[in-house]
């Protein structure tokens, strides 16, 4: 038997597949399809200090092989999450990752404090949301700001801290190094790429927010390249995501350098994708004579 489990910052995941933040809510809806222990972990919908209404609709548009979203972090707030969603989620036999976003560094720190004494397994700091006016991606695009926010949140956060990186930067490896140097336990990438679609009949953007974040199969090659660059630059675990939709994609992302994976957009098309990807990966490992999925990580032989 092949071993699909992985260990990320001391947290054991049943398998390398984590549901990507914002695509899986707090798990309830997908638990109608299968037990949530089918997944290695769940990165919850991005939460903020206070509840957020989110952006006006339409919030989603389609492109060839990809989608754009502009949800704008609609969420019930960190306290509601801790009181109402977390107790149930923590009993589902899967790792729970709280994804946090803030308008200010202080807000991130306050949320990290609130999460310290909860059953959350890890904290993922989202400094890469393209859909909010304040904060969000602004923290994630320069090495200095990434370093200072990571340092600040690190000093308040007693959970393993993942920093989620934006692909909307010129050198993502430098950003990852900045996060590592200030105490990040892991990095996850990529968040969405900013994009836009326009209705040619009305000249109106499809999204009410005009622009949105792109995800899905079309971003996969970009994500693979970035995971490869980041893995070479840091020693901490790398959680790879962006457009993974088949077990072959999952294997490719692991080979590029990912220690674990997140999947999001594919779930909209096929809620059962995690099961299919795990089965495919198992068979692949067996065929390759590998005992553990971790043996695949960073086995890329670049030219």
Ligand X SMILES: Cc1cc2nc3c(=O)[nH]c(=O)nc-3n(C[C@H](O)[C@H](O)[C@H](O)COP(=O)(O)O)c2cc1C
x/- binding map, residues 150-179, to ligand X, per CB under 6 A?
A: --------------x---------------
Return d(Cα 17, Cα 14) in angstroms, integer. Answer: 8
Considering the rule CB under 6 A, would residue 215 count as an interface residue with ligand X? yes
Active site residue 129: yes
Minimum distance from residue 243 beta carbon to other proteins (Å):
10
45 binds other proteins (CB under 8 A): yes
Tell me the closest approach of the beta carbon of residue 81 to other proteins, in angstroms.
14
- Positive or negative, the CA dihedral 246, 177, 142, 8 is positive
User: Closer to ligand X at the Cβ: 241 or 254?
Assistant: 241
Applying CB under 8 A, the span of 55-63, 126-134, 177-185, 222-230 interacting with other proteins comes to 55-63
38 binds ligand X per the rule CB under 6 A: no
Contact letters for ligand X, residues 254-283 (x by CB under 6 A): ---------xxxx-----------------
What residue 29 binds from other proteins, ligand X, none (CB within 5 to 8 A, per partner kind)? Answer: other proteins
Catalytic hit among 129, 143, 157, 278: 129
Among 6, 13, 41, 59, binds other proteins (CB under 8 A): 59
With CB cut-offs between 5 and 8 Å by kind, which of ligand X, other proteins, none does residue 24 bind? other proteins
Q: How far is the CB of 71 from other proteins (least distance, A)?
A: 5
Interior CA angle at 152 toward 149 and 155, to 5°?
Answer: 145
Q: Does 22 bind ligand X (CB under 6 A)?
A: yes
Is residue 48 at the binding interface for ligand X, with CB under 6 A as the rule?
A: no
Q: What is the binding site for other proteins (CB under 8 A)?
A: 22-25, 28-30, 32-35, 45, 53-62, 65-67, 69, 71, 74, 206, 216-217, 265, 267-272
Catalytic residues: 129
């Amino acid at each position: 038997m092949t071993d699909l489990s992985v260990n990320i910052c001391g947290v054991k995941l049943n398998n390398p597949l984590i549901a990507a933040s914002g695509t899986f809510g707090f798990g309830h809806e997908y638990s109608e399809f299968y037990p949530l222990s089918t997944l290695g972990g769940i990165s919850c919908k991005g939460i903020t200090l206070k509840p957020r209404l989110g952006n006006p609709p339409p919030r989603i548009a389609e492109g060839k092989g990809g989608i754009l979203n502009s949800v704008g972090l609609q969420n019930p707030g960190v306290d509601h999450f801790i009181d109402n969603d977390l107790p149930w989620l923590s009993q589902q036999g899967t790792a729970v990752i709280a994804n946090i976003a803030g308008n200010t560094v202080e807000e991130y720190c306050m949320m990290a404090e609130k999460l310290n004494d909860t059953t959350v397994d890890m904290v993922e700091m989202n400094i890469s949301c393209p859909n909010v006016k304040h904060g969000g991606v602004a923290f994630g695009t320069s090495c200095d700001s990434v370093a200072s926010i990571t340092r600040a949140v690190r000093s308040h956060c007693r959970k393993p801290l993942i920093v989620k990186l934006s692909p909307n930067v010129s050198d993502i490896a430098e950003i990852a190094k900045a996060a590592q140097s200030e105490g990040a336990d892991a990095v996850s990438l990529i968040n969405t790429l900013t994009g836009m679609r326009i209705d040619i009949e009305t000249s109106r953007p499809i999204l009410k927010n005009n622009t949105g974040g792109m995800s899905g199969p079309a971003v996969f090659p970009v994500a693979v390249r970035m995971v490869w660059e980041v893995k070479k630059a840091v020693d901490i675990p790398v959680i790879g995501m962006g457009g993974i939709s088949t077990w072959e994609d999952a294997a490719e992302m692991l080979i590029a350098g990912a220690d674990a994976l997140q999947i999001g957009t594919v779930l909209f098309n096929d809620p059962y994708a995690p099961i299919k990807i795990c089965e495919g990966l198992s068979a692949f490992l067996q065929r390759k004579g590998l005992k553990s999925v971790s043996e695949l990580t960073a086995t890329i032989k670049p030219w």
